[in-house]
Structure 1
Amino acid sequence: MKHYVNFIHSKNIKKSTIYPHLKCDELEAEILRYMAEGLMSGNDEFNVLNLIGSVFGAKDVQLLMHLPKIKNLLELGWVVQTGFLSAGMSQIAMLELLNTSIALSPSFLKLLEDGALNLELPEISPYEDHLEYLKDQFLRIDLLQKLGYSFQKLSSASLSRTQYRLKLLEERILSRLKITKTPIQVQVLIKENSLNAKEEIIFFALLKEEYSGGDENLRDMNSLIDLVSEDEYERIKNRALLDEKSNLVEKNLVDYDEMLSPFGGINRTFFIPEEVLEKVMHPNRKKKKPKISLQSLVKEQEIFEILEPKASLDEVVLYPKTRETLQSLLKQVDSNVVARLKEWGIKEKNKGIDARIIFYGPAGTGKTITALGIAKSLKKPVISFDCSKILSMYVGESEKNVRKIFDGYKEIAKKLKNNPILLLDEADQFLSVRVSSGGGAEKMHNQMQNIFLEQIEKFEGILIATTNLLETIDSAFSRRFNYKIEFKKPSIDQRIMLWEKYLPKNAKYAKSETIKTLSLALAEYSLSGGQISLVIKNTAYKVAARENPVFQREDFVEEIKKEQSGSFDGEKNLGFKS
């Protein structure tokens, strides 16, 4: 207890061992000494009015002159109020203190015991690397969290113990930066984006969260705003630092996810984007090559179209037998099944999922949409080639360009981790029986088919060919496809489902009609799914142009008759059994 004894008995209080740590003036130190002496007589609580009178012999108006000294000691953290005030220290009026009671704080009592604040920081030296710099910045965030109302304009006259340590640390960071010759990437980033002091604190707080693995709970808006706000007014004002138009968000230094809260509101969770983290965490790492996208590869090839799977297989209206076959197919191309086949030696170990599939049946029966549904189930993209265009696109070079289709696919598959499904739409001319006459056109067609047959044989991946006309399919092609799945025109029950699915839900119908009654009536017409969708679309365009846009049954019947009279699609179900 030598420091306590030294403090209360020093003739010159400025020469006491703890005085350099107090950061207050001599008269304020005398107040602390008087209160420390009171501990020996069992007095640990003091009325401010009586305390000032006892220390300074002040009376009446003179008492008021010493109130700022009491407030400063409270701000420094050397004394605490024994009562309760609702406002923070910066909002307390002087006169509120006059009749309150105060006591020495635990921090001051600890200082009396130990004689030091343990605030010594290592000597100033250049930063060796960005990790050293981040360590100091993360300590700064820790101190700001402890302050409660963190970011303040600090002055030497009003520093609490934590505020004082924060000030020392911030001065030390600046001093070390001045003598650091190697640029620190995160500092470069801050300067390039002109972050102000508050934005910088938020950025380092989120960076600290990334390094700590998300254990510090600094990702929500309120926690981040508390770091840079002194009071409720500042909290409201500083929310603009993290809105959509803020500097941090607009410059992509910070991003956020939105989630519904239990009370129906929206909570935002903030994070630093991966590319920014890469710059900060690995400043010397060579830049990764930009990811190759399917879109860019398809654009280079200029022969494929990317199709986006929208509906899952469960949403497609199909015959039960067709659906059963498709479900079996999906099980067989599952990655676990493929791994098992490799283990048994049935499938080569260096090969991925393979399947060559024919979808056959009349137009509009859902072949293409089913191919997309399979892709969605397998989480694969789809690239499509319209085979009906092969001759018109490449007159005189058909054989060469059949190879181009498959070579183009191989090139794309080689550059992507997730190989796309190749969809060959309307592949009738490739699959038809080869002709034996000796004409030049027939020879070219046969040659094109031979190349197609050869490419199918060597194909690795998932290939789906769709065709309407299978009565002339060449048996050589039939053998090359390991799945053959028939698509029939929908039954009446399936047509009811299709009408109910596609009829616009938000439209107005004649008073006597509902979607249910319309579906039952219109399903009597033998249409494919594609035809039903087209009839609804054509009818909608016609009705929407009316002054009173109400759907009548006759509107649909009129479009159905137009579709049936112009349709080249026969009633015969073609093909072979799957």
Structure 2
Amino acid sequence: MFKLKEFLNLEAIEKTKIYKELKCSKNEALILRELCKNYVISISSVNAFTLLSNIFGVKKYAYLDVLEDLKKLIERGFVNQNSSFFKNIESNKNQGLMLNLLQCDLSLSEYFLEFLESKPNLDFSKKEAYADYLEYLKDEFMRIELYERLSFIRKSAYNSELKEQIKLCEDYIKERLKKSKFYNVLADIFKEFNLNQKEQIIFLTLLREEYLLSNENSTSREMNFLLSLISENELDKHKNKRLLQENSSLLNLIEYEEYLNSFGDISKSFFIADEILQRVINFEPKQSKKVKIENVLKDQDIFELIEPRVNINDIIMPENTKELLESILKQQDKKVLERLNLWGIKNNKNIEAKIIFYGPAGTGKTMSALAMAKSMKKSVLSFDCSKILSKWVGESEQNVRKIFDTYKNIVQTCKQSPILLLNEADQFLSTRVESSAGSDKMHNQMQNIFLEQIERFSGVMIATTNFLESLDTAFSRRFDYKIEFKKPDFKDRLKMWEKFLPKKAEFDKKFDINILANYELSGAQILMIIKNTALKVAISKEGIFHMQDFLESIQKELNSSFDKSKIVGF
């Protein structure tokens, strides 16, 4: 308490340690000292007029000259403003006038009191794993308290000491988390929404307010307060505003209300969205989604589960194709969803699309479907239509229904909607034949059922086919998008060779990637050629890639290719 006693007793307030640490004006320090004098004799709240007139006198209304200083103390969070005068803000048109401060009661803020007591360094000696999620959460809230204290005295000499404590605290939490085995719902949410450290601090601050059961007027929910936690100065605070604006990652997790504060400015108060809050507070640490789907898939022999690992940016494709895929993915955008719901186009938050990818084999149709799934954070349930059709000849109607019924059962059981990928869907989608032959009738019947199931399907379905010319018009009408995948041109082939070629290999002097890119190959063929050539070089004596090796592999691939004559699905 030495700092406080010095602050209260020393006449030359500029020489006190508290004055130097807070870096405030002399008038601000005098106001704080008067509040401290009242606080230590059990007077926690003082009328502003009484306080200011006692310090600066009433002669010539000198106390009016320091209203600006008082306002700064309130804005910085040093002093609380308590008055019923401001409770009904909407009915009071003059609440922004500084003179109205004289009607308020003033008290020292919790943060200023914490600063006065100079809380001792925290104990970070524990090294064992967290016993449970709540023990971990308690430490996260302790970390937020440190950030709050830092924001309160950002410009003081105490700044560096607090930063060191924060670093120790964060390292301490990370170390214990590494050893812990409990289900960390927060870590899942941070990863799912790709939150950076600043966004995590804001989220944890709002979560702490929920656990403290604070009311909607809590200053810890205000935009300026939240920004002060993650900003070094005013310029930094201005830059960080983007984290709390529309289309930011955080706005998928939190909501806000705009209101008129006591100084007449429009401010925002933030809250964790109910859906996310329920997920955090009432989570059940069960198996992951992937495991749950795998368990369900054990009871069927239709689908293959694929967890996508590449995104659209990893795939080399024409720019117009990429733009079209990205426009489909924009259905996930919060603003787009709000508009579609407002216009009555959509009534839920899930992407719904039925898409056909068509084009020659090896042009990236399946890979692009997986990339879209990655962007949607969805798994893929894939089946090979040609294999299933040959397996179920004679039972087509029953078994086409079985495909979709099994998918619906998985969706309902696992509470998620993976992408349904129909690979090699040519036979399903081809034009129906007018014939009296039994096989043709069976084929048409199968297609009619398939058509009916597509009509009823809800979610994302992607069908891949090598041919669009034979597509039945009835199917064409039921797909939202038909996207062509062409064989890559020279420019794209060059990019593929550059991407797929081994980076740490040695090439001979005659090697010329432009010559390789001149061959009209698909991406799948280029990758196969590189793998075959690499195997040949790996077992050679010198281990050097020769141009001739690539040319021989290309010739073998072209000679064995069926692209010129193969008709898939017929």
In 2, the alpha carbon distance for the partners of 1:432 and 1:299 equals 34
8 A Cα contact 1:311 1:373, kept in partner? yes
Query: 1:313 — aligned with what?
Result: 312
Task: Name structure 1 gaps, 5 residues minimum.
Answer: 1-144, 152-196, 228-238, 258-280
Report the CA distance shift for 1:560/1:291 in structure 2 as closer, same or farther (over 3 A): same
Distance 1:539 1:289, change over 3 A: same
- After TM superposition, the structure 1 = structure 2 runs for residues 126-525 of structure 1, keeping only pairs within 5 Å, are 208-210=138-140, 212=142, 214-215=144-145, 252=181, 288=284, 290-291=286-287, 293-301=289-297, 302=300, 303-331=302-330, 334-345=333-344, 347-350=345-348, 352-416=350-414, 418-513=416-511, 517-518=512-513, 520-525=514-519
CA distance in 1, matches of 2:122, 2:346: 64
- The one-letter amino acid paired with 1:495 is R
Identity %: 49
Task: Name the structure 1 match of 2:534.
Answer: 540
* Aligned partners of 1:428 and 1:468 also within 8 Å: yes
Which residue does the alignment assign to 2:89?
none
Q: Distance in 2 between matches of 1:391 and 1:572?
A: 19
Query: 1: CA distance between counterparts of 2:567 and 2:319?
Result: 16
Contact 1:361 1:573 in 2 (8 A): no
> What code does the residue aligned with 2:536 have?
K
The one-letter code matched in structure 2 to 1:477 is: F
Q: CA 1:399/1:541 → structure 2, altered by over 3 Å: closer, same or farther?
A: farther
Give a deviation string over 1:542-567, Cα, whole Å, max 9, x none: 11111221111111111111111111
Q: Distance in 2 between matches of 1:329 and 1:287?
A: 31
Give secondary structure in 1 for the equivalent of 2:471.
coil
- The alpha-carbon distance between structure 1 residues 506 and 435, as it changes in their structure 2 partners (threshold 3 A), is same
**Equivalent pair of 1:294/1:416 in contact (CA under 8 Å):** no
Question: How far apart, CA to CA, are the structure 2 residues paired with 1:353 and 1:201?
Answer: 38
Q: CA deviation at 1:351?
A: 7.3
Q: Do the aligned residues in 2 keep the contact of 1:423 with 1:465 (CA within 8 Å)?
A: yes
Deviation at 1:205, TM superposition (A): 8.6
Opposite residue 329 of structure 2, the aligned amino acid is L
- Alpha-carbon distance in 2 for matches of 1:254, 1:429: 45
For residues 432 and 200 of structure 1, the distance between their equivalents in structure 2, rounded to whole angstroms, comes to 60
Separation (CA, whole Å) in 1 of partners of 2:542 and 2:135: 59
Contact 1:362–1:573 (Cα < 8 Å) also in 2: no
| Superposed CA offset, 1:124-143 (max 9, x none) | xxxxxxxxxxxxxxxxxxxx
Pairwise CA RMSD of aligned residues?
4.6
Give the structure with higher Rg (CA): 1
In the aligned structure 1, how far is the partner of 2:124 from the partner of 2:451?
73
Equivalent residue pairs, number:
348
Query: Aligned pair in 2 of structure 1 residues 549, 480: CA closer, same or farther (>3 Å)?
Result: same
1:214, distance to aligned residue in structure 2 (A): 4.0
Where does structure 2 lack aligned partners over 5 or more consecutive residues?
1-118, 148-161, 188-211, 213-280
Is the CA contact (8 Å cut-off) linking 1:358 and 1:485 kept in structure 2?
A: yes
Partner Cα separation in structure 2 for residue 147 and residue 323 of structure 1 = 54
2:544 to 521, 546, 550: 550
Which amino acid in 1 is paired with 2:531? K
The CA distance in 2 between the partners of 1:540 and 1:330, in whole Å, is: 37
SS at match of 1:385: strand
Q: Quote the offset at 1:299 in angstroms.
A: 4.2
Q: Using the alignment, how far apart are the partners of 1:527 and 1:472 within structure 2?
A: 25
Deviations 1:202-253 (A, max 9, x none): 9999675256464258xx9x979x99xxxxxxxxxxx9x9998x9x965637
CA contact (8 A) 1:295 1:306 kept: no
Q: Secondary structure at the match of 2:540?
A: coil
Q: What letter corresponds to residue 209 of structure 1 in structure 2?
A: D
1:551 maps to amino acid = F
CA shift, 1:506, in A, is 0.8
Change (3 A) 1:339 1:416: farther
Paired with 2:467 and 2:174, the residues of 1 have a C-alpha distance of 59
Partner of 1:562: 556
Deviates more, 1:547-556 or 1:305-314: 305-314
Q: What whole-Å deviation, never above 9, does each CA across 1:417-466 have from its counterpart, x for those lacking one?
A: 55222111111110011222233322222222111111111111111100
SS in 2 for 1:465: strand
Counterpart Cα distance in 2 of 1:150 and 1:331: 45
Contact 2:382 2:421 in 1 (8 A): yes
TM-score (norm 1): 0.51
Deviation at 1:367, TM superposition (A): 0.8
TM-score (norm 2): 0.52
AA aligned to 2:368 is T
CA distance in 2, matches of 1:558, 1:385: 35
| Alpha-carbon spacing, 1:544–1:397, altered in 2? closer, same or farther (3 Å) | same
Instruction: Find the counterpart in structure 1 of residue 521 from structure 2.
Output: 527
How far apart, CA to CA, are the structure 2 residues paired with 1:411 and 1:297? 11
- Contact residue 373 and residue 380 of structure 2 kept, 8 A: yes
Query: Residues 82-126 of structure 1: CA distance to partner in whole angstroms, max 9, x if unpaired?
Result: xxxxxxxxxxxxxxxxxxxxxxxxxxxxxxxxxxxxxxxxxxxxx
* Separation in structure 1 between the aligned mates of residue 374 and residue 517 of structure 2, nearest angstrom: 29
